Amino acid sequence: MKVEILSEEELKIKFILKDSDYVFANAWRRAMKSLVPTLAVDYVDFYLNTSLLYDEIIAHRIGLIPLKTDLERYNFQDKCVCEGEGCPNCQVSLRLNVEGPKTVYSGDLIPDDPEVKPVYDNIPIVELYEGQQLMLEAVARLGTGKEHAKFQPVSICYYKIIPRIEITEDCNLCMKCVDACPRNVLKNDNGKVVVENVLECSMCRDCVRVCEANAILIEETGDFLFTVEGVGQLPVRTVMRKALEILKEKAEEANRILEELS
């Protein structure tokens, strides 16, 4: 099993998972979306709110603001020494005290830990008019995507099978398959049908249906093309690595349980 990086941007990675199977590919995808923890605001204490929005609406908006996360610095509350009471090791506060006229943005939140700041400082929260004021304290903690979508570290995470396409010697060079392919996977190369870009193939099999000589063979493989786009709380490579570590821990725990049962 190997991983080949095709392209990498600040928040987006495309890679090929080689010599695997769809069971592991889907488990890795689900782990990246729902098992990798991040920080997000869990509740908000309002001290003053004279804006046009209810407390609940503002709290909901603040809860969805992605926060930079240090997984080495913070613990899950149920695994912390404070036993869930809340301490600097498992939660962090972000304070806000602004007066209008002003549009309040995520960058106006002031965290107790300067490393735990909003990923983007231009997310609008509420517009305050003359004489209006907003004073609150938001408390963030670690959580996972299976608990709430606000903890998800990736916005896009999907894969597709990379097929094996073979043009046999029975091909009569009618070129109907080249014209039928909606993704330009096949190419007419000096009167010969060749596979130009197998990564674009969606296995629709339109080429197979129009082939008069039945000369096109398409088979599934153990290679998968992944596209992962992060939200920004964690680097995408960190999300990928952490998801693998979590899957390994779960597999080891399952083996331990099976050994105890036997």
Q: Which residues are annotated as a binding site for [3Fe-4S] cluster?
A: 201, 204, 207
Q: How far apart are CA 184 and CA 30, in angstroms?
A: 31
CA-to-CA dists, residue 76 to 81, 114, 152, 193, angstroms? 10, 20, 15, 56
Amino acid in position 29:
R
DSSP H or E segment with residue 177: helix 176-180
Q: For 29-54, b where at least 16 C-beta lie within 10 A, e where not — what string? A: bebbbbbbbbbbbbebebeebebebe
Q: Tell me if 109 sits within 8 A of 135, measured CB to CB.
A: no
C-alpha Rg value of the chain to the nearest Å = 25
Residue 197 burial (10 A CB sphere; 0-12, 13-18, 19+): exposed
Q: How far apart are CA 147 and CA 129, in angstroms?
A: 36
Q: How far apart are CA 57 and CA 82, in angstroms?
A: 30
Cα angle 33, 36, 42; round to 5:
95
Q: Tell me if 143 sits within 8 A of 40, measured CB to CB.
A: yes
Residues forming the annotated binding site? 201, 204, 207
Q: How far apart are CA 33 and CA 226, in angstroms?
A: 13
